[in-house]
Amino acid sequence: METGVDKGKILETIMDSCGSLYSQHRMKADTVQAHSRLPSVPPPRDSWFLTNGVIAAGPTPFDNVARSVAEGRVSRSVFVRHSSWNVWQRYEDIEELDTFALGRLVDRLGRASAGIEERSKEFGSDTTPLPAGEELTSSVQSQRVTRSSIRPVSVDPVGVLGQARDMDEALLLTLSTAVAAASAHVGLLHRYKEDLGTAVTECAQGAGMERLLGVRLPMTDPTLAAAQSGNTILGEPILGEAGRTIAARFNLAGSAPIGVAMVPIRLFDKLLATLEVGQISRAFTAREISRVEDVADVLAERLVVNGWFELPV
């Protein structure tokens, strides 16, 4: 899809600045000063990635991300993550943190992202409480928007996923691009595990979503059954069982979405993962979720091209 911007030039500009950030002439010569409270931690700890669904860049120090935002190369809503995280956050949600607060966040989300496989053997979501349908009805009706007022956000999944260096990075970029494509606020990626016979939450996006990393979906989860059959779930204005199951997961992490959806990621009739997205102000449109399906298709192609998926014999 045409975005109306020179993506190559934007990416080149960001990456050029990544390489020169710590030059000896840095602070004095810059017309845009770096954030005065940014952490002065040496690489590799000060190692960040950013994406907006159109471009992806990193690793780079955090104050270079701040400079890119300050100079207008990317917006404050750009998605960022530390190299130790399996969680994306919006830059605007963490930009005001001082050195110590940002350092604590890096450590906390880094710990949450570590040992997902080990925790998946301990934590299940079989007891996830489902919100009652009547709890959702009034808020959906009061915040419903006119479909003609919703314009799709431009994304470039081919270009973004082309920046992935391995399958783990590809999955993280798939989630962030899907969230951007759907104009969602939160998102989860559950990776299917053959040995467990179910999916485990491996990637997350949004404040508080790190609480779900390593959680194992119950085998009776209706979203898992739909994904195994290759079916997408688009939550209706009044959510059914599958929609309420997705909403319940987000609720556990402190979010209360009105719109929810699930898109399976499949290759050669094999389930690889599921994408779940949530919107806190309205239901998703079919067009938005079809764009998430496009992102899932691009990932499947990338896995084959890069040899990250073993072809069936």
Q: From CA 26, how far away is CA 44, in angstroms rounded?
A: 19
Q: From CA 213, how far away is CA 226, in angstroms rounded?
A: 22
pTM: 0.81
Closest to 292 measured CA to CA, from 137, 177, 172: 177
Cβ–Cβ contacts within 10 Å for residue 54, how many? 21
Residue with tokens 């085998």: 219
Pair 262, 244: CB distance under 8 Å = no
Q: 247: which 2 tokens? A: 């909403």
Pair 47, 83: CB distance under 8 Å = yes
Q: What CATH fold (topology level) applies to the domain 116-305?
A: Beta-Lactamase (3.30.450)
Alpha helices, H only, the chain: 7-20, 26-29, 62-70, 91-94, 99-113, 116-120, 133-143, 157-161, 167-182, 222-228, 241-252, 286-305
Q: What pLDDT sits at residue 261?
A: 98
Closest to 89 measured CA to CA, from 58, 50, 38: 50
Peptide bond before 264: cis, by omega within 30 degrees of 0? Answer: no
Provide block-wise average pLDDT over 10 residues at a time, the chain (313 residues).
50 50 34 40 73 96 94 96 97 94 94 88 55 42 40 87 96 98 97 93 96 94 96 91 95 94 95 97 95 98 90 56
> CA angle 116-171-294, nearest 5°?
145
Q: What pLDDT sits at residue 119?
A: 84
Domain with CATH 3.30.450.40 in the chain: 116-305
3-state secondary structure of 198: strand
The length of the chain, given as a count of residues: 313
Q: What pLDDT sits at residue 62?
A: 94
Q: From CA 217, how far away is CA 220, in angstroms rounded?
A: 8
